[in-house]
Amino acid sequence: MNQIMDLPPGLTHYLAVGALLFVLGIIGFLARRNMILMFLNAELMIQGVALNFVAFARHRGNLEGQGFVLFLLAVAACEAAIALALILVLYRTQNSLDVSLWQNLREEGLEPIVDEEPLPLAPLEEKSPSLTVAGPGPAQPEETSHV
Amino acid sequence: MKEALLALIGIPLFGALLTLLTARHNRDRARTIAMASTGLTLLISLGLVFADLAGAAGVPGQFHGETRRLLLGTGNSPESLRGISFHIGLDGISLGLVFLTGLLFPAALFLTRKEANINDWGFLAWYQLLQGLTFGAFLSLDLILFYVFFELTLIPLFFMIGGWGGSMKIEAATKMFLYGLTGSLFTLGGIVGASLALGGMEKGCDFSIPRLVQVAKDRGKPLEELITRVEKTREALKNTKTDLENKTAQAKFDEAEHELLQKRNAASHWLNWQTVLFLMLMAGFAVKIPIIPVHFWQPMAYREAPIALTVVLSAVLAKMGLFGVVRIVLPLLPEASVRLATPVLGTLATIGILYGGLAALGASNIRTMLAFSSISHLGFCLLGMVSLNETGLSAGVLQMVNHGITTGGLWLFALILLERFPSLEIHTFSGMAGRFKAMGVVAVLLTLSSVGLPGLNSFVGEILSLMGMYAQGPDGRQLAVLASLGLILGAWYMLNFLLRVFYGDERVPASLPGREAIDLSGRELAVFVPIIGLCFFLGLSPQTALKRISADTKPLAAELGEARHRAAGASQLTPLAMANEAHEASAHQGKRATPNHPAPQTNKGGAH
Amino acid sequence: MFEPAALALIPLLPALAGAVTLIFGPKFLKQQSHLPLIGACIASFLISLVAIQSMGSESGAREVSHHAGIWFSTFGSNPVNVGWDFRLDPISGMMVPMVLFLATVIAVFSTGYMKEDPGYPRYFGVFSLFVAAMTLLVLADNIVLLYAGWEGVGVCSFLLIGFWFQKPSALKAARKAFMVTRIGDVGLLLGIFLLWSGCGFTLQIPTLIEKARQLPDEYLYLAGFLLFVGAMGKSAQFPLHIWLPDAMEGPTPVSALIHAATMVTAGVYLIARFLPVLTLSPDLLLVIAIIGGITAILAALIALTQNDLKRILAYSTMSQLGYMFMALGAGRSDISSHSLVTFAMVAAMFHLFTHAFFKALLFLSAGSVMHAMGHVIDLRRIGGLRHVMPLTHIAFLSGALALSGIIPFSGYWSKDEILVALDAASHGPNRDLVYKILTWLGLITAGLTAFYTFRAYFLAFWGEVKIPVEAFAHGHDGHGHEKTENDLSVNHKVNHDPYGHSSDPSKAHESPLIMTLPLMVLVPAALGIGALFGPTHKMMDFLGSASGFHQDHGDHAASKWVALASQVFGLCGIAIAFVLYVAKPSLATSIKKSAGVGYNLSINRFYLDEILTLLFVRPLQILGWLIQALDRELWDRLVDAVARIPAWLGDKFRPVQNGLVQFYALAMALGLTIFLVFLAFGDRLFR
């Protein structure tokens, strides 16, 4: 360890930081179940990889890695937009960011896994004030449970 | 000639297309189209047979009417012609099968009455497609082309059995398809492997059967010459008189033997590789024939398929597997064939003969009986082929045609019974000969042909198959003796059928509603008279066919004979040389322990 | 001068006649369907006579041969060459005219017997094919061609036994005949293979015989034994004899020609032809002789008690065939003084020759009786016919005398030669005891033969007149054949008389001229042909000139005692029969009662049918049923079970898809870890 510290900053250091970022991202991704946090952890992993690219590009003295990273950043940005939009939509339906509420893609006939410590639900939004519509209102559906 | 072969493949395919385009939901038009297209193929194949027998087609022993278009070149120059090509041609081995295809497809259709459920535009389109593919498989001279035709036949079969079959049609169709597919995937591997091993990669993959056969033949030549040299020097050594002479002769002999040892090691790699390829290739063909442990799809498919389809399935399509054996397996892999054909395939064929015979004896339904009898009879074809000598090979090929005619006739007979009566359970019939005289005559003649009466067709094929096998060493002798017991079983179940159905007190089952049970109609006679005529012709004058066939089996038999000679010669080393070899081998093994030794590459070096 | 190519015509003409009759018979020829057959038989007969004349008399090759082209052939390392090769030598020269002569006579008889049968054209068509196949068998120079004729006669026999196809018993008999002979045929086929591969891939019979001499002993023994298995099947030798008595279901003229005179002797012909080489294996000869002896005595014992006239004759045929094989088995060449080969062969063939005539005569007489009695042949229901059918009576009596071997009738001369041959063989160095026993067996059989033949004769033609009702009802309707013993009940109703005695014998009648004429032709042949050829040594001169044999006029007079003994036995047999069935019929019943077990064994044919069925037929049938049932219900299901393995595995792994994102992520991460570990440390881990 000391040896690495003693060296002048070089490829190894960059790689070490990249790996650290990546591993942190993985741990975070696996450990958290808040969708936004999971997404941020995924971003962290991407940054770790991007750091690797940059480090190697500098080490090799060419620009290919740098170019990759530019693409990566662009892709990450697009991804963020789409992912956040998706998360928003999901949140609207379940009123929660808990990823374990979404088990619908499991095989047919399997029991859903019941979460013993669900994330607290977000407080229900208060309805924005609005004008009553003219005529008899539509039958209000009863409030349903979130889980 | 060339055009005729193309037409044989093209007309049914065109007919199928025409049915799809113009005869949707129109039974009458669909039937007209199907009759016309299959009828045309009958005329063409008849013409081919006459032209060929008259010698107008070309020299026997070569392919006739070849067409060759490169479909996918793999060579590094466009002139090399290597790659997958549309390459078709006719020879004595395929001639009879082409004729059978041309004969039985229209015959089965012709005998089916108009109102039958198979006279549906869908069925008829599949049916014509199947005929085209079958012609294609028999005419192919390219490995991949053959495989494509061979494999594609499964699709029409699947839909025809699944769509128009009996009560268990789905199960039967699925089973047939899965068996066929599983087997032929191995065959595909074998085909690619054989092509790579024989043709090599450097100049591009080669799939041309005639060229690969030539390669296989040439590859054994150096070893062959070496063995001859060893034998000669050994003779010379024996005949020496003086010491000096003895010394030089001994030196020459040692040198030749040493060289042989080295070559033999290389050759044994090649042989092991061939063995693998042999088993892979045989997997698909064995299912198609079918050979005993992989036959389970067959009785069910034959029972559940619409009977017109069963006719061609048994009489024509089963031959595709045997055709593959004689066209691809034996010529491309002569060494492995010499090593495996008689002990493995011969044994399985013999088991099939006895097993099929006994099972047919126990069957209570004409269809089941004929299905098992097919296993038994095809065993004789296979037995002849795997005896690997000219007699057996010619007999096997001839017997394919004979079986097609006889069993085709018997299935057609079952078809016309099914046109009249609701079931084919044997016990529902008795004493039919009283009212159905012409039927009785046809049944007697077909039965006698099936049991191998001299003067009718099957006799020649069966006896020559057995003789070919018998002459093939002690193993062959045992197999031939066991297989000949199949003749007794064959007579037994066929007589059971004949006597129970036609002899005894007259008890004819109630005919199908709206159908009058009548003796053979003119249309039916028009089919059965030529078939029986063929039985007599091939029985009384088999030489016509046999001569034509042996022109093409002779080179194959010669190649296999050389391979046998090589196999025997390579094992006839002197004890001293064997000891040397063992010593070298142990030394060699130490060297070979390096992690990545070049395993398959040595094969290419083969027997240079 | 005789053109050898005409040899091919001998089988060809009947074959063409058969084809013509079968194709055009039902529509055009109808009741004239016999014409092609009779014409072809006469023509072939004349050709064969001319051919025999032209065989040349100088010693050495006394033969005519013709190669009429190739049937099929292959080349290569083990060539097969089968040509349409015909050869007429003394052995076939004796057989061919005999077959054709008898065929002609029997065909003429059939025109009366089968009159107005709806299957008339079919009958004569298959009859012609039989004659063609039989002459082919005899004339064939190539052993595969011989086999073709061999199978051909078998099939014609099958078709004619099952001629009245609506009769269930005919169905069973036809199948039995075909299957049992088929077993023998496969033996013959294997014998052919063995000789073919052992003798340098030739199939020509003379070459085979020549080359087979060099075969090792065991090889020769096996080849000969296999040929003999074929002969056993065709010639109804124990234990493949069970088909012959049942074969009597066919029309009687067929039994006369096929199952008495010609086809069943094919086995004798085959072994006689190969005797010059088979004699080199003394063990094989012994086997042949013993099997022949067992058959001879067994058949004679069974015949003692049968009530069906045709069956008695059938057993007698078996018994006589057993004699012929005993004779062939006596053809030892290991006796120091001189070889018995020729003498034995001539004895067997001579007996075959005389037997053909008198047995045909007996069968035709039985046929005549059947025809007149409305197809009733049960000896319990007929009697005293010598007054009703005088001509038939004479014919039967001559046949019976010849069969019993009474001097000077035909049977005596040939049977005597056989016994002399056996006796001579017993003077050899080894195995003399067995041959001695066989000689005595032959003598006893001779006595039994005389007894049962005359038992049948006395029962049918002597005593009070008994005529079954069918005799008046049948009216030549051609359906009389359906009346079997089961119809006794009908008799009860009509007559209240179990044996259907008729009160008015004058209504029963002798058969028409067309049937009695052939009988009258055969009577002198049956009586005198033995004396014509036997003591004059004509047969020996003729047959002995066949290649592989030599003329053997050796004096076997040392054993003249057997001739005397056989006379004694024969006459005793006749006398006992006379006492039991004419003079004191009550004695017969009491003997029957006291014989008990023996009687039951005999009348039930020693239960051999049942035993063989139980041992071979049933097990195979059960095995067959089991195999096809297992194939469908067990093995197939097992394979299906294999197909379920992937489905089962899929089912087991399905829960992995639980829809939990983090589970997926974890799996991915773990997989990645494992992969990376392999990548990084793989070579260190697996070194």
What are the backbone dihedrals phi and psi of residue C462, each rounded to the nearest 5 degrees, phi first? Answer: -110, -175
CA dist., res. C196 & res. C212, Å (int): 9
Mean pLDDT over B293-319 rounds to 91
Task: Name the closest residue on chain C to residue B562, using Cα atoms.
Answer: C77
- The structure tokens listed for A138 are 């539509």
Give the list of residues 6+ apart from residue C597 with CB closer than 8 angstroms, or none.
none
Task: Name the closest residue on chain B to residue C149, using Cα atoms.
Answer: B454
Q: Nearest CA of chain C to the CA of B369: how many Å?
A: 9
Question: Is the CB of C667 inside 8 Å of chain B's CB atoms?
Answer: no
pLDDT of residue C332: 83
Q: By the 8 A CB rule, do C204 and C198 touch?
A: no
3-state DSSP call for residue B456? strand
3-state DSSP call for residue B70? strand
Query: Between residues C14 and A121, which one has the greater pLDDT?
Result: C14
Whether A107 sits inside 8 A of C661 (CB atoms) is: no
Whether C662 sits inside 8 A of A33 (CB atoms) is: yes
- The structure tokens listed for A71 are 């693409």
User: Do at least 3 CB pairs under 8 Å connect B with C?
Assistant: yes
The partner residue sitting opposite C70, judged by closest CB among B360, B390, B543, is B543
| Spacing of C-alpha B419 from chain mean position | 31
To probe the interface with A, which of C660, C670, C676 has the most A CB atoms within 10 Å?
Answer: C660
To probe the interface with B, which of C16, C72, C636 has the most B CB atoms within 10 Å?
Answer: C72
Whether C627 sits inside 8 A of B355 (CB atoms) is: yes
Handedness of CA B402, B405, B410, B411 (dihedral sign): positive
Of B104, B112, B87, B111, nearest to B41 by C-alpha is B104
To probe the interface with C, which of B168, B170, B287, B296 has the most C CB atoms within 10 Å?
Answer: B296
Q: Nearest CA of chain A to the CA of C665: how many Å?
A: 7
Strand partners, C83: C70
To probe the interface with C, which of A22, A23, A27, A30 has the most C CB atoms within 10 Å?
Answer: A30
User: For chain C, how long is the longest CA-to-CA vector?
Assistant: 119
Mean pLDDT over B104-112 rounds to 92
Task: Name the closest residue on chain B to residue C118, using Cα atoms.
Answer: B434
Question: Is the CB of A36 inside 8 Å of chain C's CB atoms?
Answer: no
CA dist., res. B296 & res. B175, Å (int): 8
Question: Within a 10 A sphere around the Cβ of A125, how many other Cβ atoms?
Answer: 8
Whether C660 sits inside 8 A of A107 (CB atoms) is: no
- When mean pLDDT is compared across B95-109, B588-602, C37-51, C415-429, the lowest value belongs to B588-602
Of C41, C88, C92, nearest to C353 by C-alpha is C92
pLDDT tier at B594 (50, 70, 90 boundaries)?
very low
Amino acid identity of residue B399, one-letter, is Q
Whether A102 sits inside 8 A of C665 (CB atoms) is: no
Query: Between residues B238 and B424, which one has the greater pLDDT?
Result: B424
User: Do at least 3 CB pairs under 8 Å connect B with A?
Assistant: no
Restricting to C residues 197-256, those with a Cβ less than 8 Å away from any Cβ of B are 197, 201
Give the residue carrying structure tokens 């060893």: B230
CA dist., res. B535 & res. B548, Å (int): 17
| DSSP code of residue A118 | P
Q: Which residues of B504-539 are buried (b: 16+ CB within 10 A; e: fewer)?
A: bebebbeeeeeeebeebeeebeebbeebbebbebbb
Q: Which residues of A touch C655 (CB under 8 A)?
A: 107, 110
For the packed helices B92-111 and B27-53, what is the interaxial angle rounded to 10 degrees? 150
pLDDT of residue C500: 42
pLDDT of residue C567: 87
Of B569, B558, B593, B597, nearest to B259 by C-alpha is B569
Check pLDDT > 80 for residue B596. no
Of B162, B155, B5, nearest to B91 by C-alpha is B5
C253: preceding bond cis by omega (within 30 degrees)? no
CA dist., res. B118 & res. C624, Å (int): 33
CA dist., res. B513 & res. B515, Å (int): 5
Handedness of CA B293, B290, B388, B335 (dihedral sign): negative
- Interface size B-C, in CB pairs within 8 Å, comes to 161
Question: Helix/strand/coil (H, E, C) string of C181-222?
Answer: HHHHHHHHHHHHHHHHHHCCCCCEHHHHHHHHCCCCHHHHHH
Question: Is the CB of C629 inside 8 Å of chain B's CB atoms?
Answer: yes
- The structure tokens listed for C452 are 């049962």
In chain C (687 residues long), the average pLDDT of successive 10-residue segments reads 83 93 84 89 92 70 83 88 90 91 93 86 92 94 93 93 88 90 93 91 90 88 93 91 89 90 92 90 91 93 89 92 92 75 89 92 91 83 84 91 87 88 81 87 91 90 80 50 41 40 56 87 88 81 80 62 85 89 80 79 81 86 87 85 87 85 89 90 75
Question: Within a 10 A sphere around the Cβ of A60, how many other Cβ atoms?
Answer: 11
Strand partners, C51: none
User: Do at least 3 CB pairs under 8 Å connect C with A?
Assistant: yes
Of C475, C309, C304, nearest to C381 by C-alpha is C309
Whether A113 sits inside 8 A of C660 (CB atoms) is: yes
Q: Nearest CA of chain A to the CA of C630: how many Å?
A: 37
Question: Is the CB of C636 inside 8 Å of chain B's CB atoms?
Answer: yes
**Residue-wise pLDDT tens digits, B12-35:** 999 999 999 998 888 889 999 999
**Residues of chain C contacting A, Cβ within 8 Å:** 654-655, 657-662, 665-666, 669
User: Model pTM?
Assistant: 0.85
Q: Please give the helix or strand (H or E) that residue C425 lies within, else none.
A: helix C410-425
CA dist., res. C571 & res. B448, Å (int): 48
What are the backbone dihedrals phi and psi of residue C70, each rounded to the nearest 5 degrees, phi first? Answer: -95, 135
Question: Is the CB of C120 inside 8 Å of chain B's CB atoms?
Answer: no
pLDDT of residue B570: 65
Q: Nearest CA of chain C to the CA of B139: how many Å?
A: 25
3-state DSSP call for residue A139? coil
ipTM of the complex: 0.89
Task: Name the closest residue on chain A to residue C662, using Cα atoms.
Answer: A30
Whether B470 sits inside 8 A of C627 (CB atoms) is: no
Give the list of residues 6+ apart from residue B227 with CB closer than 8 angstroms, or none.
B260, B565, B566, B569, B570
Task: Name the closest residue on chain C to residue B393, using Cα atoms.
Answer: C74
Handedness of CA C201, C205, C206, C209 (dihedral sign): positive
Q: Which residues of B touch C175 (CB under 8 A)?
A: 495-496, 499
pLDDT of residue B81: 75
Restricting to A residues 87-146, those with a Cβ less than 8 Å away from any Cβ of C are 99-100, 102-107, 110, 112-113
Task: Name the closest residue on chain B to residue C190, using Cα atoms.
Answer: B481
- The structure tokens listed for C55 are 């065989």
Whether C76 sits inside 8 A of B561 (CB atoms) is: yes
CA dist., res. B519 & res. B435, Å (int): 7
Question: Within a 10 A sphere around the Cβ of C230, how many other Cβ atoms?
Answer: 27
Amino acid identity of residue A75, one-letter, is V
The partner residue sitting opposite B491, judged by closest CB among C79, C171, C178, is C178
Give, in degrees to the nearest 5, the angle at Cα C30 between C29 and C33: 65
Give, in degrees to the nearest 5, the angle at Cα A49 between A48 and A54: 100
Mean pLDDT over A101-119 rounds to 79
What is chain A's mean pLDDT, rounded?
A: 83
CA dist B475 to B346, B454, C122, Å? 9, 27, 46
Question: Is the CB of C24 inside 8 Å of chain B's CB atoms?
Answer: no
Q: Which residues of B184-205 are buried (b: 16+ CB within 10 A; e: fewer)?
A: bebbbbbbbbbbbbbbeeeebb
Q: Which residues of C96-118 are buried (b: 16+ CB within 10 A; e: fewer)?
A: bbbbbbbbbbbbbbbbbbbeebe
Q: By the 8 A CB rule, do C2 and C53 touch?
A: yes
- Residue % of chain B over a pLDDT of 70: 92
Check pLDDT > 60 for residue B120. yes
CA dist C650 to B529, C275, C647, Å? 56, 72, 5
For the packed helices B457-470 and B542-570, what is the interaxial angle rounded to 10 degrees? 10
Whether B543 sits inside 8 A of C175 (CB atoms) is: no
CA dist., res. C213 & res. C199, Å (int): 9
Amino acid identity of residue C9, one-letter, is L
Check pLDDT > 80 for residue B479. yes
Task: Name the closest residue on chain B to residue C186, using Cα atoms.
Answer: B484
**Residue-wise pLDDT tens digits, B195-253:** 988 887 777 788 889 989 988 888 888 888 888 888 888 888 777 777 887 888 888 88
Q: Which residues of B touch C193 (CB under 8 A)?
A: 466-467, 470, 480
Mean pLDDT over B158-163 rounds to 93
The partner residue sitting opposite A30, judged by closest CB among C654, C659, C669, is C669
CA dist C625 to B367, B424, C382, C528, Å? 15, 17, 45, 56
- The structure tokens listed for B384 are 């002849």
The partner residue sitting opposite C628, judged by closest CB among B368, B499, B505, is B368
Mean pLDDT over B389-407 rounds to 93
Q: Please give the helix or strand (H or E) that residue B480 lies within, else none.
A: helix B473-502
**Residue-wise pLDDT tens digits, B517-555:** 788 888 899 999 999 999 999 999 999 899 889 888 998
Q: Which residues of C touch A83 (CB under 8 A)?
A: none
Q: By the 8 A CB rule, do B128 and B34 touch?
A: yes
Q: Nearest CA of chain B to the CA of C153: how many Å?
A: 10
pLDDT of residue C486: 42
pLDDT of residue B385: 92
CA dist., res. C218 & res. B133, Å (int): 54
Q: Nearest CA of chain B to the CA of C113: how many Å?
A: 21
Task: Name the closest residue on chain C to residue B473, using Cα atoms.
Answer: C197
Q: Which chains touch C (3 or more CB pairs under 8 A)?
A: A, B
Give the list of residues 6+ apart from residue C277 with CB closer than 8 angstroms, or none.
C209, C212, C213, C220, C224, C548
Of C423, C248, C397, C286, nearest to C343 by C-alpha is C423
| Spacing of C-alpha C199 from chain mean position | 28
Q: Nearest CA of chain C to the CA of B466: how many Å?
A: 8
Q: Which residues of B touch C144 (CB under 8 A)?
A: 463
Handedness of CA B131, B132, B134, B139 (dihedral sign): positive
Percent helix, strand, coil in chain A, to 5, is: 60, 0, 40
Q: Which chains touch A (3 or more CB pairs under 8 A)?
A: C
Whether A99 sits inside 8 A of C659 (CB atoms) is: no
Give, in degrees to the nearest 5, the angle at Cα B336 between B332 and B339: 145
